[in-house]
Amino acid sequence: MSSYFTDLAQQYIDGEWRPGTGSWDIIDFNPYDGEKLASITIATVDEVDQAYQAAARAQQQWATTNPYARRAVFEKALRLIEDREQEIAEAIIAELGGTGLKAAFELHLAKEFLREAIHLALRPEGKIIPSPVDGKENRVYRVPVGVVGVISPFNFPFLLSIKSVAPALALGNGVVLKPHQNTPVCGGSLVAKIFEDAGLPAGLLNVVITDIAEIGDAFIEHPVPKVISFTGSDKVGRHVATVCASHFKRSVLELGGNSALVVLDDADIDYAVDAAVFSRYVHQGQVCMAANRVLVDRSITEEFTEKFVAKVRSLKVGDPRDPQTVIGPVINSSQADAVSAVVEQAIAEGATALVHGTTTANLVEPSVLTNVPADSALLKQEVFGPVAFLIPFDGEEEAVRLVNDTPYGLSGAVHTGDIERGVAFAKRIDTGMFHVNDGTVHDEPIVPFGGEKHSGLGRLNGETMLDAFTTTKWISVQHGRSGFPF
């Protein structure tokens, strides 16, 4: 595993591993113990340009490559991940503080998305559409957009890089990937290494490890990429969308959430507790779909709260390398400070801390808060850490109103003894995804994934990848002679 952080601490541009030429380094730290994993000299605006130009050159031949031949690359990449699964899991644990359970979950999904990319290479289909003009044949081709820029986040960096990179490549595009500064290896150079070893032609996938302090908007403003796929906060996503629109680029945005898990009066309380604890505290709560808010019918609030608090208190916090650990470190000290500040602000506003976790370095113990004032801004924002807000409600109408009372609309869940009651409830919620009698954190390779409101634009996965990473082209053929008015 450690060799990843020495061998891959470089830029990957036009099939070459090389250091950046920037004047400073990104230092890659283990968030649990502060160990320095790697030092990577950043890429400059010039190197971003080189990466995009390389992708544009390589893409032209790749787009005309038989899709069955393209497919073979993804089959090989899948086998390589399976062969290297243990080392990749260790890298995920080291670089982002994920537990072994989380690393296994991320790798499982990454493999599923690669399997889908194998099929996606053969998915684009053309059409012949009737014409009102005699002798005219309208052909509609589905073609690659050209080059896609991918910006991936720190929380599931390996998965969320592959989730856009693999389908974009499978559909005949070139890609330039910019991973998050806190996860440059798992989210960037490791992905490039796997595809390089799988036989992807040089130049098609490039990785630039850099920072906006160095390159500004160069990554998204560059004239080569036609689509920018961004996963991250809604604040940055808004900026990405604005810049893309001003340059006539398409943006695919997977942004933050403020999901609610709702427990109706006829729910299986023990099961709902298990679902809620997982949905809030998986990967330290650093998940866009995490259940920030747990809404419980007032008639069962007392029993639910007692069991929820007991389960949260049982979660082991500590070294992510320990198989018993459920909650490891958050990604960095600023994140730890931000989560701690949320708890203190809620208490200052009058909330009751049923569990008041302490913070030691990047280890943030779980907190459970209730009696948060209904007008508190905290209930409407995303909290990227192990803090749950328990909120009682009186009847379904109030529950629907509370769930929808947020700028976000990504995921959510409802628990009930009546499945159709749950489906009817789900239909009333303004989210891109909602789950009946389950958790809020789900992703599957062929189901449309994405949000409403501030949670994003567009969808990923399955057929929606065609909309994201291809475009249509109309070519008409006139059989015989066409008539013209002059």
Question: Rounded distance, CA 91 to CA 98, Å?
Answer: 9
Alpha-carbon Rg for the chain, nearest whole angstrom, is: 24
Residues 6+ away with beta carbon under 8 Å from 86:
none
List b or e across 230-251, with b for residues whose CB sees 16 or more CB atoms inside 10 angstroms: bbbbbebbeebbebbeeeebbb
Q: Which of 268, 264, 296, 261 is nearest to 435 (CA)?
A: 261
CA atoms within 13 A on the CB side of 432: 28
Strand bridging mode 36-41 / 127-129: unpaired
Query: What are the tokens at 429?
Result: 């919620």
Q: Which of 93, 144, 89 is nearest to 111 (CA)?
A: 89
Three-state SS letters, 218-250: HHHHCCCCCEEEEECCHHHHHHHHHHHHHCCCE
Question: Rounded distance, CA 286 to CA 441, Å?
Answer: 11
Sign of CA dihedral 297, 384, 117, 457: positive
| Catalytic annotation, pick one of 95, 106, 116, 254 | 254
User: Is 56 exposed, middle or buried, given 0-12, 13-18 or 19+ CB atoms closer than 10 A?
Assistant: middle
Main-chain dihedrals φ then ψ at residue 176, nearest 5 degrees: -120, 125
Q: Do residues 217 and 178 lie in contact, with contact meaning Cβ atoms separated by under 8 Å? A: no
Is residue 254 among the annotated active site residues? yes
- Residues with catalytic roles: 254
